[in-house]
């Protein structure tokens, strides 16, 4: 029973990591979009 909170914490931190990765991906996509925009104009 003691391991349940630990597992929940791990799941939480995993979700946090995923969210951070998604934010990174967003900023990366934004940078690519800006570069493409500069190339077109």
pLDDT tens digits, 18-28: 888 899 999 98
Nearest to 32 by CA among 12, 40, 7: 40
Report pLDDT digits (tens) over 5-41.
Answer: 887 788 888 888 888 889 999 998 898 999 999 887 6
pLDDT of 1 higher than 70: no
Is pTM beyond 0.75? Reply is no
pLDDT for position 36: 94
- Indicate the Cα dihedral angle 32, 35, 37, 41, nearest 10°: -160
9 vs 13, 16, 33, CA distance in Å?
A: 6, 10, 36
Q: How far apart are CA 37 and CA 33, in angstroms?
A: 6
């Amino acid at each position: 029973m003691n391991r349940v909170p630990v597992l929940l914490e791990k799941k939480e931190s995993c979700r946090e990591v995923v969210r951070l990765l998604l934010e990174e991906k967003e900023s990366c996509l934004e940078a690519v979009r800006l570069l493409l925009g500069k190339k077109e104009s």
